[in-house]
A and B are shown apart, each in its own frame.
Chain A
Amino acid sequence: MPAGPGASILDRRLVFVTGKGGVGKTSIAGALAHIAARSGKRTLVCEMDAKGALADAFDVGTLGFEPRQLEPNLFAMTMDTEDALREYLRLFAKVPFIGRIGPLARTFDFLADAAPGVREILVVGKLCYEVRERHYDIVIVDAEATGHIISQIGAPKVIREMAQMGLVREQTDWMIEVLHDPSITGVAVVTTPEEMPVTETLALLDRLEPETGVAPSVLVANRVLPNLFTTRQRDVVERLAEAAPLIVDEVGRGAAAVLDAARITDARRGVGAGHLDRLRAESDLPILIVPELFTRATGRRVVALIGEALAEELD
């Protein structure tokens, strides 16, 4: 494989990181941002679901709509629809600063629930705006999970296809220019080597480009357990329980837990390998492998370790 497709994910200027709930989107987005910033790019990382997990990943108290610098070159924010609306009104509708946005926001919330794409276009618009204005070299988005990402990045397309929209519709043109250009915008789909995450990933790959016009660029297989044994060794691992009494005699009663740990880990690796094979068989996209980390650390240390693994894969 040429060093191209996978490696170029950080050559894009807007990268959405999506995947099923809990697979590691926030950790991977944080790690990608970390390595982009280290490589000298002015980087913005943005959390879309406002859970605060991105702040935890970087060990910073809270993040807001206003980007905050975390490291040299690295800025982080969380998306907020109301703030995005306020900024939008100021920049595009030329509505001067609105102090109390309350009633308007409520109207807006309601409309946003009712009309497909209204909420989404604002937040995606904000991201595209940062890209268009070249405020950052790269914007990395800790995006919505597979269930919601299509309505999010597909919003400009949907809205453009709906006739008779107001100002919002006119704005979709430049957003689409950003989103539909695969040299500018990329999508990284994160999965773990498990049944549902892989199934959801494959379903997303089928729908993403047809429905949103945005092409997926790379897959990240996160939490992959290393294959420690050859076939002949595995045969021994699987039958080692038969020899447990011998082992306990020699190394003590703690041996049972040691054998259990090996058995569970290797069996889970085997199940995972099957799911990864399915991923490989059904998609041509490059797959970046990130191993399961065995660390007691959380936060930045995890981001750094995942970053190291990713950087190796991207080389």
Chain B
Amino acid sequence: MARRRLQLQTDLDALLASKEMVLVCGSGGVGKTTVAAAMAVAAVTQIGGRVLVLTVDPARRLADALGVGHIGNEATRVPDSAFAAAGVQPRGELWAAMLDTKAGWDDLIRLHAPDEQVREAVLANSTYHNLASRFVQSHDYLAMERLHELHSSGEYDLIIVDTPPSRNALDILDAPRQMKEFFRSWLLRWLTAPYRSRFFSMASKPFYQIADRILGSRFLEDIAEFFMLFQAMEKGFVEHANEVEALLADPRTTFVVVSTLEAAPSYEAAYLARELVRREHHLGAIIANRVLPASMTAKASATSARKLVKAARGDLAEQIAEQLDTQPEIVGDVLTEIGTRFHDVAVVATREAERRAELSELCQLLVAAPVLDRDVNDIADLLELAAHFTP
């Protein structure tokens, strides 16, 4: 594909500089939220401009560091002082916002309700409250929806979107289509048709009878009422879902797949990467997160580990003990343990290197973010990760 070749990216900087929207996806707990924030930090320190990261459920301390600890849909600016504290001067502005799904739905209703009456009726409806948190991959859709809104505001040069943990990482791609299908479904039409014609079709279609028998007719009536209200908003919702869907394929959008190099997440990441390419979305990068240093697979390291066990009880322990002002036996025990255990870590590192090679076949850009010896909590930690994005 010519377009793709023209846009060949050689590093993450170039990718972030050439795109306006980045969707960060991957399986649960692999570091999507962390990597999204670190990419935003990388962009704002390396490239500049107004950069916004839209996060979903960040860990508390990271949320505090980004200034999104409070509830609400507002974007807030991460103060330059937070960067200064970490010893850097950003070239642009870093903004952060949190995805609040309940508020997101209410906003959508307000946007699409034809009049105040419908709007108030929906917002007060108890079925709506059940639905808002549950139906058609609600979280995924809202993340996309929010991206659309932020992008069309024209206020940002780059928007990086973290995605919610979903059962299936592909859900995000299907969300707009499902939203449209929901509104177009013949059942919605049937439920909201005038009672009499509904009665006729009911009598003629055995599966309505079954649905009726299983679920109870009162229930069907109840939700019919709710959907009647909803149908009034169909046009707005469907048009909007079309625009949101178009964002997925927009040349200014790229996808970044995050994964650890463990079996199950890598497998899912590979699937996701293939699927993105198959659907002709732009797969910008795969980011392998929490990766052990490559040096751990080196033969020299294994050799040193073996030698360390042998040398642990001799002069070496005594010299070290003297330097660290402790006893040689303690040092000997420590060196033995460290030398013996190295094999465990090397096994994992080797496995990771294999998976990394597999993943790198799937994307022109594979970036490895190292495992830190602590949780990623503040701007300094994010900068440390970001430093590995732009070698």
Contacts and interface: CB of A to CB of B under 8 A. Distances in A.
A251 B307 contact: yes
Given A232-B326, A256-B295, A268 B305 contact: no
B331 A262 contact: no
A145 interface: yes
Contacts of A167: 213-214, 216
A56 B27 contact: no
Given A114-B223, A246-B319, A258 B342 contact: yes
Contacts of A89: 210, 214
Given A106-B187, A251-B311, A252-B303, A267 B214 contact: no
Interface string B126-144: 0100110011100000000
Contacts of B28: 20-22, 145
A53 B344 contact: no
B267 A233 contact: no
Contacts of B182: 110, 113
A93 interface: yes
Nearest to B290: A268
B103 interface: no
A196 interface: yes
Interface residues of A, number: 78
A132 B365 CA distance: 53
A273 interface: no
A281 interface: no
B375 A95 contact: no
A233 B215 contact: no
B301 A258 contact: yes
A151 interface: yes
B374 interface: yes
Interface stretch (B6-14, B67-75, B346-354): B346-354
Interface string B1-45: 000000000000000000000000001111000000000000000
Contact of B211 (A107, A243, A260): A107
Contact of A166 (B215, B302, B339, B344): B215
B250 interface: no
B188 A110 contact: yes
Contacts of A151: 134
A213 interface: no
A93 B311 contact: no
A197 B304 contact: no
Interface size class on chain B is: 35 or more
A21 B27 contact: yes
A116 B29 contact: no
B373 interface: yes
Nearest to A27: B264
B207 interface: yes
Contacts of A114: 127, 131, 135, 223, 226-227
A254 B305 contact: yes
Contact of B264 (A56, A111, A261, A263): A56
Contacts of B208: 107
Contacts of B351: 296
B320 A21 contact: no
A298 interface: yes
A107 B338 CA distance: 61
B215 A165 contact: yes
A257 B345 CA distance: 10
Contacts of A242: 323-324
A147 interface: yes
A108 B211 contact: yes
B278 interface: no
Given A22-B264, A233-B334, A257 B211 contact: no
A53 B27 CA distance: 12
Contact of A254 (B219, B300, B319): B300
A255 interface: yes
B196 interface: no
Contact of A228 (B323, B330, B341): B341
B296 interface: yes
Output the residue of A106, A107, A237, A296 with the most chain B CB within 10 A: A107
B228 interface: no
A23 B264 CA distance: 11
A262 B344 CA distance: 11
Contact of B326 (A53, A148, A236, A256): A236
Contacts of B187: 106-107, 110-111
Given A110-B188, A113-B136, A255 B219 contact: no
Closest 5 CB pairs of A and B: A21-B28, A254-B304, A294-B344, A166-B216, A267-B373
9 contacts: A53-B264, A113-B131, A115-B223, A167-B214, A254-B295, A255-B301, A260-B296, A268-B373, A296-B351
Given A103-B207, A251-B307, 8 more contacts: A89-B214, A114-B127, A236-B324, A240-B324, A254-B305, A258-B339, A261-B296, A294-B344
